[in-house]
């Protein structure tokens, strides 16, 4: 029992001695104080969990700072991955907004002045699609079914549904090239 309280006392002494230095070191790299505190706490938690396996000849300073360095590297790598993902999402959002802006700028009010002509134009464009492609397109865009449901109903793979939708978009874009706002307005 006395050995346990000696370990506890030693751990407390180590914690009090090293915590401020480790935190300053971590904060130098991860910037945010709360992140630095969490990283240092993780190191002390690991030290506490492995206390029975730590030998007396361990260079504690080297162990703690090497652990801290590795935790900071892991943290920064994770942050970079997260930031890259956020940047990609932002780029896709900006691209979508640019496409919508371009569509609105090219918008010609006369396109919609003859509603029956527009409906006929769209119907003819859809009817010109290959049968399987047309069926999948109608199920997805007109009936509002998800690609997974379409695949189940038609007993085909989701990949086939995606490919057929790509073909449909490509053909409709070609047919309705003079009516880009229509394509975006009705199908995207």
| pLDDT, tens only, 78-118 | 999 999 999 999 998 998 888 778 777 766 665 555 555 66
Higher pLDDT, 3 or 62: 62
pLDDT-based confidence at 185, cuts 50/70/90?
Answer: low
SS3 23: helix
Of 16-20, 150-154, 170-174, 183-187, the range with the lowest mean pLDDT is: 183-187
**Would you put residue 108 in left (φ > 0), alpha (ψ -120 to 50) or beta?**
beta
Phi, psi at residue 56, to the nearest 5°?
-70, -25
What was the pLDDT predicted at 102? 76
Contact at 8 Å (CB) between 133 and 162? Answer: no
Q: How far, CA to CA in Å, does 32 sit from each of 27, 36, 151, 152?
A: 6, 6, 48, 49
Average pLDDT of the chain is 84
pLDDT above 80: residue 157: yes
The domains of the chain, with CATH numbers, are 2-89 (1.10.1740), 110-187 (1.10.10.10)
Higher pLDDT, 37 or 173: 37
What was the pLDDT predicted at 3? 47
pLDDT above 70: residue 177: yes
CA dist., res. 23 & res. 16, Å (int): 12
From the list 86, 84, 82, the residue with the least C-alpha distance to 74 is 82
């Amino acid at each position: 029992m006395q050995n346990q309280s000696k370990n506890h006392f030693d751990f407390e002494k180590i914690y009090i001695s090293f915590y401020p230095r480790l935190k300053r070191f971590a904060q130098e790299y991860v910037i945010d104080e709360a992140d630095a505190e969490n990283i240092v706490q993780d190191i002390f938690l690991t030290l506490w969990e492995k206390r029975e396996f730590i030998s007396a000849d361990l260079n504690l300073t080297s162990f703690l700072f090497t652990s801290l360095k590795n935790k900071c590297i892991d943290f920064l790598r994770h942050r970079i991955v997260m930031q890259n993902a956020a940047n990609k999402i932002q780029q896709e959002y900006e691209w979508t907004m640019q496409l919508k802006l371009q569509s609105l700028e090219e918008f010609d009010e006369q396109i919609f002045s003859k509603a029956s002509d527009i409906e006929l134009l769209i119907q003819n464009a859809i009817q010109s699609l290959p049968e399987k492609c047309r069926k999948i397109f109608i199920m997805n865009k007109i009936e509002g079914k998800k690609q997974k449901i379409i695949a189940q109903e038609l007993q085909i793979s989701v990949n086939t549904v995606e490919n057929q939708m790509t073909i449909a978009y490509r053909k409709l874009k070609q047919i309705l090239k003079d009516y880009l706002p229509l394509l975006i307005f009705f199908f995207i």
